[in-house]
Amino acid sequence: MEQVDSDLRARRVLGRTGLEVSRIGLAGGYKIPAGAVEKAIAEYGINYFYWETRKPGMGAALRSLSVRDRQSIVIAVQTYDHIGFWLRGSVEKALRELAIDHVDILLLVDRNS
């Protein structure tokens, strides 16, 4: 039986993306304050963040972190657009709100699930 590495700072390659991510990620949908995001990086080495619109704490933290060290964090954003009509606008809004030039992961989310 394979022994499980319990170190949260250990990185794994995310699928075929080549991106090395922490074993646990952090989502912004639970009113997480900016300070908690900073603590997640400093104390636990978390570098994968799932940003959702209308969640100010995570957005503020990611804007700050991106200025300092964008290459060390992986940012995922979501869209509900299954036909592509709103996709560009959705991604561009995330880029503006996070003050970044690219997202690393785009998640296609189903509103009905």
Domain limits, the chain: 11-108
**How high is the pLDDT of residue 1?**
46
CB-neighbour burial class of residue 13 (10 A; exposed 0-12, middle 13-18, buried 19+): exposed
Per-residue pLDDT of 30-73, as tens digits, reads 777 888 888 888 888 999 999 876 666 788 888 888 888 899 99
Residues with Cβ within 8 Å of residue 10, at least 6 apart in sequence: 22, 23
**How high is the pLDDT of residue 21?**
95
Give the Cα separation of 75 and 87 in Å (integer): 17
Is it true that domain 11-108 has CATH number 3.20.20.100? yes
Per-residue pLDDT of 68-94, as tens digits, reads 889 999 999 988 877 778 888 889 999
